[in-house]
Amino acid sequence: MNIRNISTRTIVFAIITIFVGLSGCERIPQIVEPTPSEEIAIGVVLTQTGRNASVFGKYVEEAFELALNEINDSQLAGSNLKFITVDDQGTVEGAIAAYNKLIKEDGVSVILGPTTSSATKQAFPIAKEHQIVAISPTSAARGLSAISDFTFRVALTTDVLVPNGVEATHAKLGYQNVAMLYDETDVFSTDGDAAVREALTAKGVVILGTETFQGGETDDFTEQLTRIKALNPDAIFVSSLPGEKPEILRKGHELGISAPFIIRTLTEADVEAAGEAAEGAITFVGWGTAVDTPGNQAFIEKYTATYKIAPNNYAARAYATLYILAEAIANAGSTDAAAIRDALANISDFDTILGKFSFDENGDAIYDPKILIVKNGKLEIFE
């Protein structure tokens, strides 16, 4: 018989007995402190500098911050979320560099962003290569989510918004002859222009002429809009990133164009910047301050109180994006990218400020599109 083994077992048993006895006594403090909840790092690609920083980056960053605080306070994801943010400087190259840093240096399994379709088109293949989840809250050109089963988008895509918008506005306004104006350097804009053409052609609407510009360049649109005015169209369709929209409306008003401008994703900030020139402009969107969806008015009030400015479309989509991700992480019960991907794919009729939200088989968003019109300086429901 091995006396050492018997002695060792006896001592261990005695220690365990003492520990159990102590842990059962309410007056004895716990020896082991509780382990803090795990933090989950989320990569965020933002346009903090460069073109569109004030209209994309600022609002998206603030909305992410607001949602992050709410989600962590309520532990909706089951763990605290934290951001590792990289500035893409408003360029495709910057977005590619941001993705590579977040994946290779920071080791994240989820990235939120980028914001534009041009950047998303180049960044999503990187997510595919490394098998990490990527969600763009704002890009909307067709076909980008289908790049990988790890890639998702929260904005309503062109093939959802445009046909629905053309159907409703054509029925109400009865336009038969239209003109087109779009940014030839931007994926969102070129895709939008192509989709509008397809929808108009299906309706038998005549496109009298098309004008282009290059976003970010100095251009007051005088030449393009002067030529469009001479065509005397019933409506003018514009596909553009935010920066140029107010100036297009202002110049159209200055030239005395009476035909309505139909511009996808026009925001309250665009309307304010354009002033009276925005009156009567129509937009196809996925969200608006006039929309009565779950929690929308509370979101608007809290965002406005926190940042002293009303949220725009991009802020709303960013806010909803983080809540959708938190739901998926909670359902996945894991930080593994494949598990989060599967949980995202199974999101169905989830209540958001955008409405009942689901993803389709390609990872694109499903919820009700909206059509708004500027009346008395405010975006209201188009009826």
Question: pLDDT class for 374, splitting at 50, 70, 90?
Answer: very high
Report the alpha-carbon distance of residue 301 to residue 278 in Å, rounded. Answer: 24
Report the alpha-carbon distance of residue 326 to residue 320 in Å, rounded. Answer: 10
In the predicted model, is pLDDT for residue 2 greater than 60?
no
Backbone angles phi, psi at 234, to 5 degrees: -80, -25
Q: How far is CA 345 from the centre of its chain?
A: 17
315 neighbors 62 (Cβ within 8 angstroms)? yes
- What was the pLDDT predicted at 12? 37
- CB under 8 Å to 97, separation ≥6 — which residues? 86, 88
- What was the pLDDT predicted at 25? 36
Q: Which tens digits make up the pLDDT trace of 135-148?
A: 999 999 999 999 99
Report the alpha-carbon distance of residue 382 to residue 172 in Å, rounded. Answer: 9
- What was the pLDDT predicted at 243? 86
- Choose among 64, 40, 140: nearest CA to 324: 64
Q: Which tens digits make up the pLDDT trace of 343-366?
A: 999 999 999 999 999 999 999 999
In the predicted model, is pLDDT for residue 165 greater than 60?
yes
Report the alpha-carbon distance of residue 280 to residue 35 in Å, rounded. Answer: 58
In the predicted model, is pLDDT for residue 126 greater than 60?
yes
